[in-house]
Amino acid sequence: MSTTKDGRRQFASDNYAGICPEAWQAIARANTGHVLSYGEDPWTARAADLLRDLFETDCEVFFVFNGTAATSLALASMCQSYHSIVCSETAHVETDECGAPEFFSNGTKVLTVAGKEGKVDPAAVDWAVRRRTDIHYPKPRVVSLTQATELGTVYTPDELKAIWARAKSHDLRIHMDGARFANAVASLACTPKEITWQAGVDVLCFGGTKNGMAVGEAVVFFDRNLAREFDFRCKQAGQLSSKMRFLAAPWVGMLEDGAWLRHARHANDMAELLHGLVAAVPGVEVRYPRQANSVFLGIPPAARDALHARGWHFYDFIGWGGARLMCSWDTTEEDVRSFARDLAEASATAAP
C-alpha cells in the first residue's frame, strides 16, 4: 500500500505527517521580499545562532535537504576513502541509505557490529578495531550512532560516554545520526549538550523532518575542524539550497518557542499511550523498550493482515521484523485508541 485512502493519520512513519504550524508559519514569515541566496540570508544566520544557543557551544552549522545527505556528507568529512565507519547492524547508514555513505565518501566502508536493541555495544568498538590492524583492512575511523535508534531505543549519557571512551582510545571520531534527536532529548529529559559534545559527539545530524518540518536537516559540527570546506561538499552533492532561507526558517520557528521539544515530547507520549494499550493484548508481543516515539510489536500474521485490511499502514521489515508503529507530532489520543481497538479485535479474531 502506498497511499492512505481515507486520509487518516497513520503509524507507518513520522514522515507521513504534514508540516507543523510553527514550521509552516516561519516559512510564510520568511516569504517576504528579496534576501541574499545560498545561505547568506538573515534566516540562515538566525537558525545557526539558535542552534549554537541550544547546544551551548560555538558549533558550525549547515542546512541540507534530507537525512541521507546529512549523514553521508558528514561521514565523508570525517573519513578518508580507505577508512571504515563502525555502526550497529540496524543503523540506517547500513540498511537504508542505498550505499550513500560509501558513495559520498568515495568508498569508505561501513562495518556493522553487534549490540542490543539497536545500539552499538562499546566492546564491539574494540572488536572492530582490534580484529584486524593490518594494511589490508579498512581502518576504522568513525563510530556512527543513531539517537534515538532505529528500534526506538535511546542511548543514555553514560552509555554514550562508555562508547566515547573506547572510541577515544582508538582515535575514532563519533558521528550521531539524529534523525530523531529531538525524541531522544525528550525521552531522556536532558540538555542537548549532555548527549552530544559533552559525550564525545563530533558531528550531529539533527533531524528536522520527522520533528515536524517539511524538509531539512541541520549538520552540526562540534569539532569545527571537521567542517572545513563542508560548504563545497554540500554544493557538489546538490545540497546547497539557493533559497536557503526556506530551509532555515522552519528551524527558527521550531527553536524560538521550543516547538521542537514540545512536538517530540508529544510524539513520545503518544507512543507511551499506545504501548500501554497494546502491551497486554493476547498474542501481541512488545519487541523493544518503548523509549522514543515508536513501539515495535510482534503481531500474528493474520492479525497483521486484518489491520492492513482495515486500512492501517505500518512497516514490518525494520530491525529484525515486527510491526513498527511510529507516532508523530500530530498523532492524537483518538488515533492511538482507534488503532489499539482494531489491534485487539484483529488479534482476538486471529487467535487460533
Ligand X SMILES: Cc1ncc(COP(=O)(O)O)c(C=O)c1O
Residue numbers of the site for ligand X (CB under 6 A)? 66-68, 71, 92, 146, 150, 177, 179, 209
| Contact indicator for 305, 342 with CB cutoff of 8 Å | no
CB of 83 to ligand X, least distance (A): 20
CB of 150 to ligand X, least distance (A): 5
CB of 146 to ligand X, least distance (A): 5
CB of 147 to ligand X, least distance (A): 9
Residue 58 grid cell: 560555538
| Contact indicator for 95, 104 with CB cutoff of 8 Å | no
| Contact indicator for 272, 290 with CB cutoff of 8 Å | yes
CB of 68 to ligand X, least distance (A): 3
Distance CA 276, CA 315 (A): 20
Rounded to the nearest angstrom, the gap between the alpha carbon of residue 315 and the centroid of all alpha carbons in its chain is 17
For ligand X, which is the closer residue by CB, 92 or 245? 92
| Contact indicator for 111, 86 with CB cutoff of 8 Å | yes
For ligand X, which is the closer residue by CB, 104 or 344? 104
Q: Which residue in the shown chain puts its C-beta closest to ligand X?
A: 67
The DSSP bridge pattern shows strands 217-221 and 60-64 to be: antiparallel
For ligand X, which is the closer residue by CB, 150 or 202? 150
Q: Which amino acid is at 280?
A: A
Residue 101 grid cell: 555513505
3-class secondary structure, 112 = strand
In terms of C-beta density within 10 A (0-12 exposed, 13-18 middle, 19 or more buried), how is residue 301 classed?
Answer: exposed
| Contact indicator for 201, 168 with CB cutoff of 8 Å | no
For ligand X, which is the closer residue by CB, 25 or 66? 66
Rounded to the nearest angstrom, the gap between the alpha carbon of residue 15 and the centroid of all alpha carbons in its chain is 11
For ligand X, which is the closer residue by CB, 84 or 153? 153
For ligand X, which is the closer residue by CB, 102 or 150? 150
For ligand X, which is the closer residue by CB, 46 or 313? 313
| Contact indicator for 283, 351 with CB cutoff of 8 Å | yes
CB of 14 to ligand X, least distance (A): 8
Nearest-10 crossing angle of helices 301-309, 333-350: 130
Distance CA 249, CA 39 (A): 11
CB of 91 to ligand X, least distance (A): 8
CB of 90 to ligand X, least distance (A): 10
For ligand X, which is the closer residue by CB, 44 or 146? 146
Q: Which amino acid is at 260?
A: W
